[in-house]
């Protein structure tokens, strides 16, 4: 009987180690979902709010700012001159893009980053690139 207990006690640390392989520690955050950047138009862009009323108030001008009216017009939540945000007609929208990537011949157009960040194409110093649209 003692030999069985001793053998089990000797194997216990090995079993505990093997059981922990491939298991995340308690409280570890899961990685965010991967969103493809192979999207060049609104139809494949996640998070677009349906049934928006053009000109009505909105709340988030930073993430997932796009919506569509009941007649199909693409709009975005913006705050010109720091007034209370409202839904406005959207410039041409180019789907999912990465902040800092080049956007030649798209100055003033908009996109959404994989994490939902609002992007706009700006030209500075002869270079066009995607920049935060809420600044």
- pLDDT one-digit tens code per residue, 5-50: 444 344 444 444 444 344 444 555 555 555 567 899 999 999 999 9
Strands (E), 3-105: 49-52, 66-69, 74-78, 86-89, 93-96
pTM for the predicted model, two decimal places? 0.72
Residue with the bigger pLDDT between 91 and 3: it is 91
Nearest Cα to 63, choosing from 117, 99, 8?
117
**Does 134 have pLDDT greater than 50?**
yes
- pLDDT one-digit tens code per residue, 90-112: 999 999 999 999 999 999 999 99
């Amino acid at each position: 009987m003692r030999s069985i207990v001793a053998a089990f006690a000797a194997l216990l640390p090995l079993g505990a180690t093997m059981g922990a392989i491939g298991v995340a520690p308690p409280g570890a955050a899961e990685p965010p979902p991967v969103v493809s950047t192979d999207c060049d138009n609104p139809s494949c862009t996640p998070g677009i709010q349906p049934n928006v009323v053009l000109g009505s108030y909105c709340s988030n001008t930073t993430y997932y700012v796009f919506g569509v009216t009941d007649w199909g017009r693409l709009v975005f939540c913006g705050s010109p001159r720091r007034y209370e945000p409202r839904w406005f007609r959207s410039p041409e929208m180019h789907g999912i893009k990465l902040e800092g990537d080049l956007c030649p011949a798209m100055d003033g157009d908009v996109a959404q980053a994989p994490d939902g960040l609002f992007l706009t194409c700006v030209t500075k110093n002869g270079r066009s690139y995607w920049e935060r649209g809420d600044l």
